[in-house]
Amino acid sequence: MKITIKIFELIALFSCIINFKKLPTKELKWFLFLLLLTNVVEWGNHYRLFMINHSNNWIANIRNPIEFVFIGWFYSQIIENDKVKNLIKYLSIFLVLASLINFLFFQGFRYLNSYTIILGSCFCIYYIVSYLLEVMEKADIPKLYKEANFWISMGFLFFYSGQSILLSFFQYFLSIGNFESFIPIWRFFITLITLILYPCLSIAFFCRAKPTSKLLQE
């Protein structure tokens, strides 16, 4: 299933590249950066290019905060509420500092920084829910499926919700040194939520409708 996930990630990247010039907003075009980074890391891990001391977790520990900050920036651009926009900036700064402290002093270099992922996922869920509530108060709900931001939000909402729940158990199994019962559950659900996320992103890059939030500003 690992190769299946990577193929879906690659499809999302190609969908963004193919539709790049036709994407309706500059915020969507920046997803090319995130998808390039994701594919470099994932395919690099697949071919063991990032192995140091028998671990490649370090590259994920660097990439994940970048993703969370990017998602924060993305929603700060499309959310209209100034208080939420400002809060996103402060939460992003806090996340970077917290992830650096975790990387240097707590979970470290070799192990997956699950605390950072849980914190970042919860922040991103807040951004997404804030955006969806804002749009649903003003938008024609049946037409949302035509908007790229809706598909991006639904994909990441499923992904971050599932990821934060799964990783809340990670440190416990690490502490007892026995992942035997956790690994099958992890593999099934992480595959499921990933296979929801990347098709949603691919669909988003084919949407041509201008986002509702942009229309409301005009």
Residue ranges of domains in the chain: 2-19+27-217
Instruction: Give the separation between CA 212 and CA 153, rounded to whole angstroms.
Output: 14
User: How confident is the model at residue 217, as a pLDDT?
Assistant: 46
Dihedral angle at the C-alpha atoms of 36, 39, 42, 46, nearest 10 degrees?
A: -130
pLDDT over 70 percentage in the chain: 94
Q: What is the largest CA-CA distance in the chain?
A: 57
List the one residue out of 61, 172, 75, 63 whose CA is nearest residue 111. 61
Report, as an integer, the average pLDDT of 185-213: 90
pLDDT digits (tens, 9 = 90+) for 60-114: 999 999 999 999 999 999 999 999 999 999 999 999 999 999 999 999 988 899 9
Task: Please report, for residues 20, 133, 192, the alpha-carbon distance to residue 187 in angstroms, rounded to integers and kept in the order given.
Answer: 32, 32, 8
Instruction: Give the separation between CA 174 and CA 124, rounded to whole angstroms.
Output: 25
Between 142 and 170, where is the model more confident?
170
User: How confident is the model at residue 213, as a pLDDT?
Assistant: 57
Residue 183 has pLDDT above 90, yes or no: no
pLDDT digits (tens, 9 = 90+) for 16-43: 999 999 999 999 999 999 999 999 999 9
Report, as an integer, the average pLDDT of 186-209: 94
